[in-house]
Amino acid sequence: MEFKFWKKKKPVEKFEERGGFFEALSYSNVTNYTTNKAMLLSAVYRCVDVISDAVAQLPLEPYFIDKQGYKTKFTQHSTYNLLNYEPNHLMSRFTFLKALVVSVLLKGNGYALIERDKSGNVKSINFLEADSVTPIYENGKLSYCISGKESLVESINMIHILNFSYNGVIGISTLQHSKLTLGLALDSESHASGFFKGGANLAGILKVDGSLNPKQKADLKSSWQASFSTSSGTPNGVAVLEGNMQFQPVTVSPSDAQLLETREFNVIDICRFFGVSPVKAFDLSKSSYSTVEATQLAFLTDTIAPLLEKIELEFKRKLYKPSERDSIDVKFNSAALLKADKTSQASFYSTMFQIGVISPNEIRKELDLPALPNGDHTFVQVNTMTLDNAINPKKPIEDGTKIKPQ
């Protein structure tokens, strides 16, 4: 396993200037573009936004695990408010998690510095820009160099969420792997922009029988461009040709260049890199109601669930003392994703209620409704029986004097 080493006092380089995994994004060794430029593509923006929003809206809470393995919300622990409401004085939980996930997707790494009190308890979790943090691996120990700070930060005090990684220490941006697709998408958008700005037609050659002097050529060219210039507001003007002139177009039509098909494929290819269905990026060209419903389930299981697992495990092993880890767990409440789907939400609560998992008041708490008197009891259905009792519903009791209902 290979790692990149940095000396302690070496200044942290900008993302676009780093070599190796952090080299500048390029396409065909010609087009250079940054993360901000990639976000100008609607498909990239939508994929990043939908993934980060899905994670940020979920409550993140610590749970106490008893000796039997049952879990209850640990509201008394100092990290409860940090995880569920305000990780630091600048951000809410939603803002913090969204910024962290966006950094993971676009930069490959999401960092947050843990501040502790004298007892080792967590006081705040502060989001850091990925460009300002450099992982350092020396003598089998991982630490972090933060731009502007002389001392290194131990791994236990740094939340580090990795995107795809080859070595488990440094994450790779999704943009880094998709740079060819993004470059093609940007070139397609630039070509489409230039095509429509140029009037979508009338690029070609003017043929004139005979010879023209340089001034006549310049005047003819200026006259033609003035009639079909987007700056003059007449991209589709009327041309007047002399008797000995012919116009020969050389512009490739959009259908011949497959411009529209290329732009449509770019959306699908970008979604493929981010693990998001094109339906989530509002490409409904090949979708139906059943497709949209299945897409939502696939999005939760294939795209969101692995990311949630990364965050949960990292928070659990970094926020809590070794003596606490066996009795504390950190979990996202994914039930919040069902709130918009009332049918699935009703089916879920109905099933949980009928098998005695939750009480009416627990359901009402999830729905932000007040508790009911005597609503803390759980219930199970009793209108079923075993097959042998259905055939022989009664049997004598031991003394044989009475019939006992089964």
- pTM confidence score: 0.66
> Could you list the pLDDT tens digit for every one of the 406 residues in the chain?
444 444 444 443 333 333 333 344 444 444 444 566 666 677 888 889 999 999 999 989 899 988 888 888 888 888 999 998 999 999 999 999 999 999 999 889 999 999 998 888 899 999 999 989 999 988 888 899 999 888 899 999 999 999 988 888 888 888 777 776 666 556 655 655 655 555 545 556 667 777 778 887 787 777 776 666 655 555 555 666 666 777 666 555 555 455 555 556 677 778 888 888 888 877 776 666 556 667 777 888 888 989 999 999 999 999 998 888 889 999 998 877 766 667 777 888 888 888 888 888 888 887 878 888 888 888 877 777 777 776 776 555 555 555 555 4
Per-domain residue ranges of the chain? 15-199+268-338, 202-250, 341-388
122-158: burial string, b at 16+ Cβ within 10 Å, e else: bebbbbbebbebbbbbeeeebbbbbeeeeebbebeeb
Q: Can you give the pLDDT at residue 324?
A: 87
355-370: burial string, b at 16+ Cβ within 10 Å, e else: eeebbbbbbeebeeee
Q: Can you give the pLDDT at residue 17?
A: 35
Instruction: Write the CB contacts of 43 (distance below 8 Å, at least 6 apart in sequence).
Output: 185, 266, 267, 270, 271, 281
Q: Can you give the pLDDT at residue 182?
A: 63
Q: Residue 349 and residue 294: Cα distance in Å, rounded?
A: 21
Measure the CA angle with vertex 150, ends 148 and 156; round to 5°: 100
Q: Can you give the pLDDT at residue 20?
A: 39
Instruction: Write the CB contacts of 368 (distance below 8 Å, at least 6 apart in sequence).
Output: none
Q: Can you give the pLDDT at residue 333?
A: 84
List residues bridging with 208 in a β-sheet.
245
Of 220, 254, 251, 223, the closest CA to residue 237 belongs to: 223
Q: Can you give the pLDDT at residue 21?
A: 37
